A and B are shown apart, each in its own frame.
Chain A
């Protein structure tokens, strides 16, 4: 499931508040590949405006992949509307740093999603009986 891209923007990351910029910044700090992503926030935007910002980001970058934070979020809704116009567009919801970082470093979306699922772990401390 590689997108075949080499360098440049590979995807748009979109979500609530500063989620997307935080993800982009973290990817940059860890791997130096923050420029793989365009960050989009839904802050202060209505549904049509979110759609317009995403459409512009995709057109500007040539990316055909959008990572969003919440499956029920307004960015996901907007991305799904764009997907209706462009079936070649892929939308990944519930995305977090492990998935996006893996994608930035490897470009294999299936593997990145798998690594994201594996990374989600609850670690409980040792409790006295």
Chain B
């Protein structure tokens, strides 16, 4: 296993990611892709605090992540790449060919978003972006924790927030 998990999660580094995924999948590193965080030492320090010392945490902009993706794929350890929103993942997929699967791990409520799962709320624009990713050949699923089944995009978009 190498860098195989590409996750959209508005909380970025948090308990579900570090403990829920990190321990059972024995993740060795995270790649946090966010243009703002990659330019802020303070934000990076904040996220570093949440990651145990045996796990590496790399900060990248979309452009630098696309450039360094081959290097991360050479890392023999299991790894996870995170973006905080769909648009950022879409930009990365466009800039870095070869991303075949993306999981929606958590997009929480804010005005304008409709509930699809208890951990996924989407605007019409975000739904279209997910459809566009799928149309580009990326398998899009929703999955909050490893023990849960990965829900296909069609099922995600049919959801009413109760699932």
Contact = CB atoms under 8 A, between A and B. Distances in A.
Interface stretch (A32-40, A74-82, A102-110, A115-123): A74-82
Given A45-B109, A80-B46, A74 B11 contact: yes
Interface of B: 10-15, 17-19, 42, 46-47, 49-52, 107-110, 118-119
A74 B42 contact: no
A49 B110 contact: yes
A81 B107 CA distance: 20
A125 interface: no
B30 to A, nearest CB: 11
Chain A contact-residue range equals 10 to 19
A77 B19 CA distance: 15
A46 B108 contact: yes
Given A16-B15, A70-B19, A72-B14, 7 more contacts: A44-B109, A47-B10, A47-B11, A49-B108, A72-B19, A73-B15, A84-B42
A118 B110 CA distance: 41
A77 B109 contact: no
Contact of B14 (A44, A73, A80, A81): A73
A73 B106 CA distance: 14
A16 to B, nearest CB: 6
A120 B18 CA distance: 22
Contact of A46 (B49, B110, B118): B110
A47 B17 CA distance: 14
A74 B15 contact: yes
A77 B46 contact: yes
A78 to B, nearest CB: 9
Contact of B50 (A48, A72, A81, A84): A72
6 contacts: A45-B109, A46-B10, A72-B49, A77-B13, A77-B46, A77-B50
